[in-house]
Structure 1
Amino acid sequence: MLSIDGSMGEGGGQLLRSSLALSLLTSTPFQMTKIRAGRARPGLMRQHLAAVHAATEIGRAHTEGAAMGSTELTFHPNGIRAGNYNFAIGGAGSTTLVFQTILLPLLLGGTEPSNLTFEGGTHNPMAPPFDFLEKTFLPVLVKMTSGARVEIRLERHGFYPAGGGLWTATVHPATEHSRLELVHRGEVRARHATALVAQIAPAVALRELDTLSNLLGWDRNACKPTMVRHSHGPGNALLATIESDNVVEVITGFGERGVRAETVAEGVAREVARYLAADVPVGEHLADQLLLPMALGAGGTFRTVKPSLHCLTQIELVKLFLGTAITTTEEAPDAWRIDVPSK
């Protein structure tokens, strides 16, 4: 059984979710201790438990320690099972993070399609929004495989703290792996932004879009508000999209009580400016999400901004499970090359 220190690297929920995915795909049982030890509220929270339960269900696994607040977990997988699943996270727990926990096992380790339904948060701080999955992550993921197809459909937005989002996914497994080469972004074809607002003043969206377009010099006509209907609670997300020849990058900021709309837009503008200035195809958040499918498949190379602690932690975890030595090379102050050997 593999022993994992849950406080290593970034020491958060990503370490647990990635461990669950790797365990399912390698049939490796593990014991994790010190789960989220450095967080203000250590141990398993609701959305982490949701990921454990989802992995347990599709992997017919035996677990010990799967309880609220637990700082230790033992996970014994017993084979990946495709099927029809409904995962209700409860509250505004991130459904996209639970999806990413089980996606690779179903996509790379399954033999039959699976149909998934998720209820909970769809646009959460500290988690990829639905739009990022749809436009950025999944198109690149599918490039790494033959036969794979992932179709997702948003039925209802779910913002923090009310949640209540609803969406579905159909996962058709891969038949072969392809090496990923994503070193050039190519020409930027389009730049646009959307400000989602639910049960709050439309003026918030307009102020965000005015600020963003002014700071970046984007066409204001390409920056539009979207009034979200049928939301279970108030919410706001500002999404900036950069469409290039080889990749689409979605950068998101979330409105919070007491935070000015202009401040939200300024944060998104800084991240967009950084990404464009680095002249790399892969943004900060996509980088750590590509490592697992590459290492489990045919490997490859991509260029990105300076690797985050999340990315470096993923690298260490991949080495622990697979023995794969992923290398990072600095090419410029904020442009790095990451090389992933095939398994």
Structure 2
Amino acid sequence: MAADTPVSIDGSFLEGGGQILRMGLALSAVQVIPINVTKIRAGRPNPGLRPQHLTGLQLTRDMCNGKLEGGQIGSCEITFYPGSVDGGNHMADTQTAGSVSLLIQAALPCAAFASSPTRLILRGGTNADMAPQVDYTIHVFRKVSAWFGLNFRLFLKTRGFYPQGGGEVSLEVKPSNEGLWAADFTDFGEVASVYGKSYVAGTLPVKVAHKMADSAEQILMEELPRGIPINIERIKEQPGRAVGNGSGIVLWAETTTGCILGGSGLGKRDRVAEDVGAAAAKEILESIRRRACVDSHSQDQIIILMALAKGKSVVRCGPLTDHSKTAIHVAELMTKVKFNIREDKGSDCIYMECEGIGLLPKQR
């Protein structure tokens, strides 16, 4: 295949849409391989690019001095020609409640292989459905990504909720000058501690945060061995620190071997606060029961890191989600690596293995 011939990706594969676009463009940018994505969100009631998808595409384009064809709302096909990833300052605004955490997923790999440090201002929804809450990215995925040598700092300035959005975060990334390294996380160890943050914003009373936290704490105390510290912070965001009304809870458990697992719940008008807290506790307990070394949210996010790292990564996790299957499909197509999935007999866990390509910034 000629160097300027785009790799073709079917955007309707499994999960379809967002995951393929984020993974595809990031791998396109860091390897300087053009791509063509077709049938974007083809099976959805409103097919094609939505504002949050287009914002992510434009951000990746700007970060790598690339060229994007078909970048309009409703487009079902795009072609992307990447340039050099130079770092520097960039800003992206979904102008909706589209998730800033999903923007981060697209931007992080690009910034890791940039020629200089990157600073991003990202605006949109910080705590939204169908995406990791920004608190999860700060307290869980930041530590998981450090296993692979990807280090970043993420600061929450303003929370933004559905439907208005309006939240803002700043992301600072130092390039991985020696590339990423393989990670071996197969030893769960034992749970050492659980932390959390239960928050409300806008006109919601702080007692809602207490109810979510109390419910989560009660379930964790009943299910975990005695003596494990549980510290859940209850927060009422100050005026100016949030746009609109919202609430939620994010929990994270740390193990004696360095594993970190998350669980979360997002408040809604039709959800009782206690149920939100219980959902977060049950989610984190499910990963602990499995003795998984990453939770389902980190599972799909580390696939691109495993593919680009130097050496063989092995991670123990729960069953593959559709997002993870989609991420593996794109990673194998774009980098020619092979992911090997081994079942752990006697449990519902798997071992996910990959010999990465060992990409170095200088190879671009």
TM-score, normalising length from structure 2? 0.88
2:60 pairs, out of 55, 60, 85, with: 55
1:115 pairs, out of 107, 112, 119, with: 119
Residues 33 and 82 in structure 2, CA contact (< 8 A), matched pair in contact too? yes
Q: Which residue matches 1:320?
A: 333
Q: How does 1:71-86 map to 2 (within 5 A)?
A: 71-86=76-91
Q: Which residue matches 1:202?
A: 206
Q: Which residue matches 1:125?
A: 129
5+ long unaligned stretches in structure 1: none
- Identity over aligned pairs, percent: 30
1:255 pairs, out of 235, 250, 267, with: 267
Does 1:222 find its partner at 2:231? yes
2:60 and 2:233 map into 1 onto residues whose CA distance is: 38
The change in CA–CA distance for 1:25 and 1:221 in structure 2 (over 3 A counts) is closer
Cα distance per residue 1:247-302 (max 9 Å; x no partner): 22221111112122233233223212211100121111101111101111124111
Residues 213 and 220 in structure 1, CA contact (< 8 A), matched pair in contact too? no
Q: Which residue matches 2:281?
A: 269
2:253 pairs, out of 235, 239, 242, with: 242
What amino acid does structure 2 have at the position aligned with 1:83? Answer: G
What amino acid does structure 2 have at the position aligned with 1:51? Answer: G
Residues 92 and 162 in structure 1, CA contact (< 8 A), matched pair in contact too? yes
Task: Tell me how far 1:65 sits from its aligned partner.
Answer: 1.1
RMSD: 1.8
1:3 and 1:243 map into 2 onto residues whose CA distance is: 40
Of the structure 1 ranges 194-203 and 306-315, higher mean CA displacement relative to structure 2 is found in 194-203
Does 1:212 find its partner at 2:216? yes
Of the structure 1 ranges 42-51 and 264-273, higher mean CA displacement relative to structure 2 is found in 264-273
The change in CA–CA distance for 1:220 and 1:259 in structure 2 (over 3 A counts) is farther
Q: How does 1:1-343 map to 2 (within 5 A)?
A: 1-107=6-112, 109-145=113-149, 149-176=151-178, 177-199=180-202, 200-217=204-221, 222-229=231-238, 230=240, 231-245=242-256, 246-298=258-310, 299-331=312-344, 332-343=346-357
Residues 92 and 121 in structure 1, CA contact (< 8 A), matched pair in contact too? yes
Task: Tell me how far 1:221 sits from its aligned partner.
Answer: 7.2
What amino acid does structure 1 have at the position aligned with 2:235? Answer: T
1:91 and 1:317 map into 2 onto residues whose CA distance is: 27
2:41 and 2:118 map into 1 onto residues whose CA distance is: 31
The change in CA–CA distance for 1:318 and 1:221 in structure 2 (over 3 A counts) is closer
5+ long unaligned stretches in structure 2: 1-5, 223-227, 358-364
TM-score, normalising length from structure 1? 0.94
Q: Does the residue aligned with 2:356 lie in a helix, a strand or coil?
A: coil
